[in-house]
Amino acid sequence: MAVLVRLAEPRDRAAIHRLFRAAFGSDAEPAIWEWKYDRNPNPAPSAVALDGDRALAFYGGCGTRYRGAEGDFPGASAVDVMTDPEVRTLGHRSLFRDVGEEFCRLCREAGIPFYFGFPNERARIIGERTLGYRSVERAGLWVRAVGAPSLLGRIRRRLLRPRTGVSFSAGHENLADALHARPGWRTDRSRATLDWRFAPHAGATYRIVELLDRRAASRGYAVVRLVLERALLVDLEVRDEESGDVGDLFDALSGSLKGSGATRVSLRAASSSRLAARLEAEFGFVREPSDCHFEIRPIDPAFDALAAGRAFDYRFADHEIF
């Protein structure tokens, strides 16, 4: 068997989808792949192993940018990682490792200093043993009852206006600039990127709640996806995490969910973040056991990836399945 490991190209898509079927026992959804790999405004490389026209392994890169006070770098999360069951091994010289190392090489050439992912426990162990993944923490997860809005009157008195829609307003741009200038790191929150991320795709739809001031500038936003009785708070950002805007945004969100059938709202965030500290102390959230870890894979030896991982302000939306 002569296996070629290289950059994945559009012409490989059909072979990769056949691999997906063999690896996971279900068909890949072309709409999700087109959204994730073809329409992403911040593309990243992917790696594939081929034996002729048969794909044996794949390591997908869902692109983004890392933004923070210390810089602006291309970034990626590792997604759709799979090998054909007929050739799957976990040894030192395994195909899984070869494709993973090619993915790292391609990312390094693209200027990506590290990539990240949210593996379950089994995948975490495999990644750490074979590809040099480093665990930052078990991903933080908080849940609370949806509840009824209690402060919408105060929002009106402060002349703040909740806006609910399916895309972001022009007032988001100044908020994005403020978020990108914060200490620490986060994925790109520009209007163009968020409108792509939260556009309907493959059955997933999102509700966007913005908190606007008198000049229609955004003070913060929340993005929700409804899944049965759960309201997944896939993204939430405010200009000032110490301010009352956080509570106002939660109340605006509760008001938007009235009549939706949702009974619980769930939020994923970095445990060290200021937002996480306030969730339990002020806003009635309860921490729950998490089913995944936040991990990084250092690529550029000149970049302090471990420090960046500890300062990374992630949300559900940083994993493409939410």
The pLDDT score that the predictor gives to residue 41 is 96
Give just the sign of the alpha carbon dihedral 14, 16, 19, 25: negative
**pLDDT of res. 1:** 62
pLDDT at 94: 82
Q: How many CB atoms lie within 10 A of CB 196?
A: 16
Residues 152-173 as b or e (16 or more Cβ within 10 Å = b) = beebeebebebbeeeebbebbe
**Confidence at residue 279, expressed as pLDDT on a 0 to 100 scale:** 93
Which one is the CATH code of 4-139+292-318: 3.40.630.30, 3.40.50.620, 3.40.50.300, 3.40.50.12710? 3.40.630.30
Rounded CA gap, 322 and 319, in Å?
A: 6
In this structure, the strands spanning 264-269 and 286-287 are unpaired
Tallying the residues shown for the chain, one arrives at 322
| pLDDT tens-digit profile, the chain (322 residues) | 689 999 999 999 999 999 999 999 999 999 999 999 999 999 999 999 999 999 999 999 999 999 999 999 999 999 999 999 988 654 445 888 899 999 999 999 999 999 999 998 988 998 898 889 999 999 999 999 987 445 444 555 467 889 999 999 999 999 999 999 999 999 999 999 999 999 998 788 999 999 999 999 999 999 999 999 999 999 999 999 999 899 999 989 988 898 889 999 999 999 988 899 999 999 999 999 998 999 999 999 999 999 999 999 999 999 888 8
pLDDT at 91: 44
145/162 Cα distance (integer angstroms): 20
* Burial (0-12, 13-18, 19+ Cβ within 10 Å), 255: middle
Fold of 141-287: Aminopeptidase (3.40.630)
On the question of a common fold for 4-139+292-318 and 141-287, the answer reads: yes
Q: Give dist(CA 137, CA 123) in Å, integer.
A: 14
Three-class SS of residue 177?
helix
Tokens at residue 274, please?
Answer: 């200021």
Which residue in 142, 165, 99, 112 sits closest to 284, CA to CA? 142
226: nearest Cα among 263, 171, 181: 263
Distances (CA, A) of 195 to 36, 168, 231: 13, 7, 20
What integer pLDDT is reported at residue 93 of this predicted model? 55
pTM of the model: 0.91
Please choose, from the candidates 168, 142, 165, the residue with its C-alpha nearest in 3D space to the C-alpha of residue 265.
142
Q: How many of the other CB atoms lie within 10 Å of CB of 304?
A: 15
What are the residue ranges spanned by the domains of the chain? Answer: 4-139+292-318, 141-287
pLDDT of residue 50: 97
In the prediction, which pLDDT does 153 show? 47
